Amino acid sequence: MPRKLRLIPSEGVAAIEVTLSKFTMEDLYGKKTLEKRTAAGETLSQVAVTLDGAHFLTSGSTSSQYIDESGLLVSDVVPTDQDGKKLQIFPDMFQEDVRLKQVISIEEYFTYNITKTYLLESEGDLAPLVERCQQLLAEKKFLAFMYAYYGTAFPEVAVLIPVDKHIIVAVGTPASLLWAKLNSNLPELFSEEESSEDEEPEFGEFW
């Protein structure tokens, strides 16, 4: 059973229970794989091998663990910043009702790289929410909420995009804009040389 999310479209409106059905480009266009075969037609596979050639690593051969500075296994870790300060852990979005208060502009939306797409589904009536999303889209805005499938210090943002009579939820993170400008100090360089700019170099002077 997919986990149910309770969305509150606006203040004073009852929560709608929704599910997020993930889809990818493979669901739209298909899955491309690269198959390797022998001349006899046997399909081959790829495995990881340690650089000394001693170990072949198939599925389940390795385990991801945290170790401390002395090389001991650590069972419990907390996310921190670079200086070791603990980061806030955001609870998963299924624990509490999600109030759709955040509105982002289309300019902000285009700073996002979308990592996941979901179809928003509900046994209830989604039409009012679709309508609200369409009204916002006419103003070049989107509804958004914090996306945390599990409790995490690194949540993403889910953006509600109306498509026909449905809502697609695009999940991603924003980036800060990078402004570029002419970083040349040519005017200063030439002003220093101004006094001598009429003095043309003599042929044969430079050797």
Partner 1 sequence: MQLHIALENIDTFIEITPTHKPIKRHFRTPEGRKAIHKRLLVFDAQFRSEILSKQQDISAMLKKENPDVDIDSAGVALTRTARIVVDKDLKPIYTFKEFDVMTRPDGTRQERPHKPIPPNADEPIPVKITDKLLDPVEVATKFVISRSFFLSHTDGVSYKFLYEIAKNLSTAGKFARLQAFDPITKKPAPLVLRESAKPYPGVFLEGRIRGDEYCLMLHLSDQELKIPEATVAPKEGDTA
Which of 54/127 has CB closer to partner 1? 54
Site for partner 1 in 34-73 (CB under 8 A): 34-39, 42, 44-51, 54-58, 60-69, 71
Return the number of other C-beta atoms located less than 10 Å from residue 8's C-beta: 16
* Least CB distance to partner 1 at residue 148 (A): 9
Question: Per CB under 8 A, does 30 bind partner 1?
Answer: yes
- What part of residues 64-123 is at the interface with partner 1 (CB under 8 A)? 64-69, 71, 74, 76-82, 84, 86, 106-107, 109-117, 119
Contacts of 119 (CB under 8 A, 6+ apart): 20, 21, 23, 166, 167, 168, 169
* Residue 189 is a binding residue for partner 1 (CB under 8 A): no
- Which distant-in-sequence residues (6+ apart) come within 8 Å of 8 by Cβ? 14, 15, 16, 97, 98, 99, 100
* Closer residue to partner 1, CB minimum distance, 179 or 206: 179
Q: Which stretch binds partner 1 (CB under 8 A): 7-15, 93-101, 135-143, 195-203?
A: 135-143
What is the amino acid identity at position 97?
D
Query: Considering the complex, what minimum distance in angstroms separates the CB of residue 69 from partner 1?
Result: 5
14 forms part of the interface with partner 1 (CB under 8 A): no
121-159 as b/e: b if 16+ CB within 10 A:
eeeeebeebbebbeebeeeebbbbbebbeeeeeebbbbb
